[in-house]
Amino acid sequence: MARFDADAAYRFKRGPRGEILFFPRGSWGPGYIVPDEARAQFIAHRQDVLYRWAHLCTMLLVGLSPFGGLWKLVLFGAALAVTGKVVQWRLRPAMLGLPASDTRLHLREELAKAKTELLGEARGTSWWIRVALVVVFVALVVSVASR
């Protein structure tokens, strides 16, 4: 699933001295220096697995909830916030011993990388797939809000 790979990929960056930097909280928190490529791959894989489980649990919770309308959107937001914290908490053991970096990930840089990776421009995703995803998302929001 390219979406999860992209989500993990834009949290990595090369530092000014060529070292690999990992930003588990994006532009909201400090970066960490990853000693080698193998450890970076391990962290990216761990984060990928955690995000898959978090999104699956969120979708099941929201999909099976008896609430409708605006309350379902509120539940969705709360579930995303909780699963995001759980991912950060479960990712912590993979980051043990990593030294903090002085380099920060700026919000503009993070948004540019996220746009490139998550919208599929770097992977050659067809424009019609992106349009279809937007249409499905809008239809979902409208159907939930109209209940």
Q: Which of 69, 72, 9 is nearest to 43 (CA)?
A: 9
**pLDDT given at position 33:** 92
Percent of the chain having pLDDT more than 70?
A: 80
CA distance 137 to 141: 6
Q: Determine the angle formed by the axes of helices 127-145 and 70-91, rounding to 10 degrees.
A: 120
Residue 28 clears pLDDT 60, i.e. is over it: yes
Centroid of chain to Cα 128: 23
Higher pLDDT, 26 or 100: 100
- How does residue 7 score in pLDDT terms, banded at 50, 70 and 90? low
pLDDT tens for residues 53-106?
888 888 888 877 787 778 888 888 888 889 888 988 998 888 889 998 888 888
